[in-house]
Structure 1
Amino acid sequence: MRAGRDSARGGGFGRAVLAEWTKFRTVRGWVAGMAAAALVTVLLGLMTATGSHTSCGGPDDACPAPPVGPGGEAVTDHFFFAHRTLTGDGSVTARLTSMTGQVRLPDLVQGVRRVENRVVPWAKAGLIIKDGVRQGSTYAAVMATGGHGVRMQDDFTHDTAGRPGGVSASSPRWLRLVRSGEDITGYESADGERWTKVGTARLAGLPATAEIGMFAASPGDLTVQPADFGGSIEQVRFSETTAVFDRVGLSGRVAGEAWRGDDIGAVREPGGAIHHPGGFRQSGGTYTVVGVGDIAPATDGQSVENTLTGVVTALIVVIVVAVMSVTSEYRRGLIRTTLLAVPRRGRALAAKAVVIAGVTFAAGLAATAVTVPLGTGILRDNGNIVLPVSWLTQVRVVAGVALLMAAAAVLALALGALFRRGTAAITAAVVVVVVPHLLATASILPDEAARWLLRLTPAAGFAIQQSIPAYPQVLANYVPSAGYYPLAPWAGLAVLCGYAVLALALAAHRLNRRDA
């Protein structure tokens, strides 16, 4: 008997969902509204992509695509490399005795260059093994930094912290990099006797013969100042770092006796000269390496979510449809008929939520699945650099935005059931979902206020569309106005879903406690 009752309950809910679906698809205005939301997503997204053009002044005006790392991400691979060829297992050891730098300052007098002598926080100098000198090739490095202590980094995205502290003549850093098959292990020491492991990287793509040696890089000096009317103003100044090594030792099958110097990723001027060249010189057992640039994931360029500018407008349409799908029944008195057909009021509301969520998700998925690939293709055709992402990330953006729209629709439906008046419910839904996102991303609020707004409100759900993560070891201004959200993608969506569930529970409580 109990199994029969459970089956009946399940069948009752299924019939309630079917009834709500039949009701929804027979109201032409609701169907047209969902179609309009999908169309707005596509049209505004493609229009934005069509209007975005970039020119770098080359032969075909197209900007050169950045190199791609082993994981398929766009990378910056620009540093000076003093190297030898190692075949098979082996190691390199060196003492880093000095790490100094220069930062270019704005000229006060035209033609009079101003520099400040200091090392930027993410300047890097140390030991590296790399698959040749091609940009984007696999590598592992152990290094000292300007302000973040010793680090072990590999393949651009991986970063492991060692001991804190800087480098000076009175406090040098001993570094060692050891290859054993595919495993590359970095060590540090204060005296060259007692060694501490920093980290180990497994480089499956590293060939038996690789380049190993010393390097230096300096990514630039980032300054961020609050703007007068919200947001921030950022400026990146050119910088370089100079590293001095001694006590350099190599083990294993190392070819030749001379060190070779390569300015990896150097930018050349029209005449062929290197723009801001690095350098290398050897004096007895002392080696000086001067480097600019960085070895890190690239963050400059368009991202796939830039094609989804129509989602905010589409969300407003979705909110209107979701609210009207319940408030119209109160306005016309049809809610009593609905509750007679489904006496369990919570079940009736849940059926409405399932239908509005399903319809919105289907419309959103169709729209984003068209907009993202077509929009990114248009951006590239217009000369823009579009930062590549994995197919899993692209699927997450496409399906995640559809889930965002569905969760917002359920929240709007619940608010409609709570307020029972369309204008009040639509206004409330727009205020809690759309307005915080606009305020946070339009440089209207201070950056920290914008971050908190996107942590605490339903607008946190927009984090699901972020395709490029914020890398702690990469110099950038990670703010909402630049497309970086304070919560991880799925965590942000979970906040929105939590609000939708809470609102639905409150609406069910009111529906059960008060007359329809």
Structure 2
Amino acid sequence: MTDVLASEWLKLRSVRSTWYILGLVALAVPLVAFLTLQGVNGWDGLSPGRRARFQAPPMEQALLPLVQLCMGVLAVLAITSEYTTGMIRTSLAAVPRRRRVLGGKAVITAGISLLGGLLFLFGAFAVSRAIVGDRPMSPGYTTPPEAEVPMLLASGLSVAVIALVGLGLGAATRSAAGAIVALSGLLFVLPVLAGLLPGPWSGRVGSVLPANLAGQLVDHPSAVGDLPPLGALGVLVAYAVAALGAGTAVLARRDA
């Protein structure tokens, strides 16, 4: 398995799209700084009454879905690019056990996505907190920094899970476009549709959407949904297992 992991890492770092995507994630930190600075400038010019009504969400969480999408796309391309170029035949000839090939890709893409997600989250968190300073900008900047560490770690885990979902969708559809559209729908379209549902279904559906699971996983005060931490963890695992299960079934039964 070590050889499989080494080969998958070599393939992933040899593709230019990997570095483009990681570059986009890195650029999200300066974007957080810019947006936070704009919010601070606006807050400074408000009266005390309007400051009390000012809503300042934590910017690392506001941009988290974009980072999740970036890492999901990276994972999609990790499998679909091999179908596009025909290199999947070489991969399967070198490693006939197809589940092992997908397993190696899952370990590498999840590891890179977890690391990239955590670097973004902690970097964006440090930058935004430094810019806000001691301003009591509610609700995103009124808690002690150390109290937000569990939320940051849980959010990083969600990035890795979305990457595994992207890998599974890519293996199942064999189409980068189809997998990316499905991933975008999961991250951006379904939350909007869930908000349009009548209660209590709006809350029930919203509880199991990826965007809301990190907060429930650590029982954060800003969490949207009523799942207990173990329930949120179970849903996160279910997303990864379902997507990878579908991808494994297609990879095992269809010719390359």
TM-score (norm 2): 0.84
What is the CA–CA distance in structure 2 between the aligned matches of 1:453 and 1:48, rounded to whole Å? 30
Distance 1:452 1:47, change over 3 A: farther
CA distances 1:110-131 after superposition (whole Å, capped 9, x unpaired): xxxxxxxxxxxxxxxxxxxxxx
Structure 2 residue 4 is matched with structure 1 residue 26:
no
Specify which structure has the higher proportion of strand: 1
Among 322, 340, 345, which residue is 2:93 paired with?
340
2:242 is matched by which residue type in structure 1? Answer: L
Q: Is the 8 A contact 1:16 1:351 kept in 2?
A: yes
- Which has the bigger relative contact order, CA under 8 A and spacing at least 6? 2
Among 483, 492, 496, which residue is 2:232 paired with?
492
Percent identical pairs in the alignment equals 29
1:452 is matched by which residue type in structure 2? Answer: R
2:12 is matched by which residue type in structure 1? Answer: F
**How far is the alpha carbon of 1:429 from its aligned partner?**
1.6
Larger radius of gyration: 1
Among 21, 35, 43, which residue is 1:54 paired with?
43
RMSD: 2.9
Q: Is the 8 A contact 2:4 2:101 kept in 1?
A: yes
Q: Is the 8 A contact 2:65 2:187 kept in 1?
A: no
Partner of 2:2: 14
Distance 1:32 1:485, change over 3 A: same
Distance 1:495 1:43, change over 3 A: farther
SS of the equivalent of 2:89 reads helix
Among 107, 110, 113, which residue is 1:354 paired with?
107
Structure 2 residue 139 is matched with structure 1 residue 399:
no
**How far is the alpha carbon of 1:490 from its aligned partner?**
5.8
CA distances 1:207-254 after superposition (whole Å, capped 9, x unpaired): xxxxxxxxxxxxxxxxxxxxxxxxxxxxxxxxxxxxxxxxxxxxxxxx
Distance 1:33 1:15, change over 3 A: same
Alignment of 1:130-149 (within 5 A): none
What is the CA–CA distance in structure 1 between the aligned matches of 2:207 and 2:153, rounded to whole Å? 21
Specify which structure has the higher proportion of helix: 2
**How far is the alpha carbon of 1:466 from its aligned partner?**
7.2
Structure 1: runs of 5 or more not aligned: 1-12, 65-299, 471-482
What is the CA–CA distance in structure 1 between the aligned matches of 2:228 and 2:200, rounded to whole Å? 17
**How far is the alpha carbon of 1:351 from its aligned partner?**
0.3
Q: Is the 8 A contact 1:404 1:464 kept in 2?
A: no
**How far is the alpha carbon of 1:343 from its aligned partner?**
1.3
What is the CA–CA distance in structure 2 between the aligned matches of 1:436 and 1:47, rounded to whole Å? 28
Q: Is the 8 A contact 1:346 1:512 kept in 2?
A: yes
Partner of 2:188: 434
Structure 2 residue 159 is matched with structure 1 residue 419:
no
Partner of 1:377: 130
Q: Is the 8 A contact 1:461 1:492 kept in 2?
A: yes
Q: Is the 8 A contact 1:45 1:309 kept in 2?
A: no
Q: Is the 8 A contact 1:460 1:495 kept in 2?
A: no
Distance 1:448 1:306, change over 3 A: farther
**How far is the alpha carbon of 1:375 from its aligned partner?**
1.1
Distance 1:17 1:333, change over 3 A: same
**How far is the alpha carbon of 1:383 from its aligned partner?**
5.5
Q: Is the 8 A contact 1:433 1:459 kept in 2?
A: yes
Pairs aligned (count): 250
Partner of 2:25: 37
Distance 1:48 1:494, change over 3 A: farther
What is the CA–CA distance in structure 2 between the aligned matches of 1:380 and 1:439, rounded to whole Å? 37
**How far is the alpha carbon of 1:444 from its aligned partner?**
4.8
**How far is the alpha carbon of 1:509 from its aligned partner?**
2.0
Q: Is the 8 A contact 1:345 1:512 kept in 2?
A: yes
Partner of 1:314: 67
Alignment of 1:99-498 (within 5 A): 302=56, 305-380=58-133, 384-385=137-138, 386-389=141-144, 391=146, 393-440=147-194, 444-446=196-198, 448-463=200-215, 468-469=220-221, 484-488=224-228, 491-498=231-238
